């Protein structure tokens, strides 16, 4: 997604793309972040953030 601001364009990743990017990086803190982002995605889809699957 792209947003035009007075100082220029701002590019924003959607949630799925952000998850893919974090998974590709594979750093320990990215792996933790992916778990949190997937919980957010489940919550947005009507699930709970306490589901057992990552």
40 within 8 A of 49, measured Cβ to Cβ: yes
pTM of the full predicted structure?
0.72
pLDDT value at residue 47:
73
Q: How many domains does the chain have?
A: 1
Residue 49: which domain range? 15-54
The answer to whether residue 54 is domain-embedded is: yes
- Which tens digit of pLDDT belongs to each residue from 30-52? 999 999 999 999 999 987 656 55
Average pLDDT over residues 24-28: 97
Find the largest Cα–Cα distance for the chain.
43
34 within 8 A of 16, measured Cβ to Cβ: no
The answer to whether residue 21 is domain-embedded is: yes
Confidence bin at 53 (pLDDT 50/70/90): low
The answer to whether residue 49 is domain-embedded is: yes
């Amino acid at each position: 997604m792209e947003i035009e601001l007075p100082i220029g364009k701002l590019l924003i990743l959607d949630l799925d793309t952000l998850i893919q990017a974090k998974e590709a990086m594979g750093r320990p803190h990215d792996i933790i972040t992916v778990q949190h982002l997937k919980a957010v995605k489940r919550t947005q889809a009507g699930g709970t953030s306490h589901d057992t699957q990552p």
